[in-house]
Chain A
Amino acid sequence: MYWIRQRRINKNWQFYLMLLLPLVWYFVFCYMPMPGVVLAFKKYSAMKGVYGSPFANPWYKWFLKYYQSPYFSRTIGNTFYLSFLSLLLGFPLPILLALLLNEVRNRAFQKTVQNITYIPHFLSTVVLVGMMTCFTNRDFGIVNKAIEWAGGTPENWMQVPAVFRGLYVGSGVWQNMGWDSIIYIAALAGVDPQLHESAYIDGANRYQCMWYINLPSIMPTVVIMLILNSGHILSVGFEKVYLMQNDLNMAVSDVISTYVYRISLLSSNQFELSTAIGLFNSVVNCAMLVIVNSISRKISDVQLW
Chain B
Amino acid sequence: MKRYIYLLLLMICISTNAQTNVVTIVPKVDSVFLSKLTGGFFYEKKQYIGDQFFNNDWANGDILLSTGVMIYDKSLKYNGLFDELIWLNTFNFGKFKLDKSFIAEFWLKNISGADIHFKQIKVSDTSNVKRQCVFAEVKVEGKLSLYIQRKISVIGSENVYRNGVLYNYDDIQATPRYYIKLPSNHYLMLTKLRRRAFLKLFPEKKKDIAKIIRVNHLNIKQELDFVRLIELMNNEVVL
* Chains A and B come from one and the same complex: no
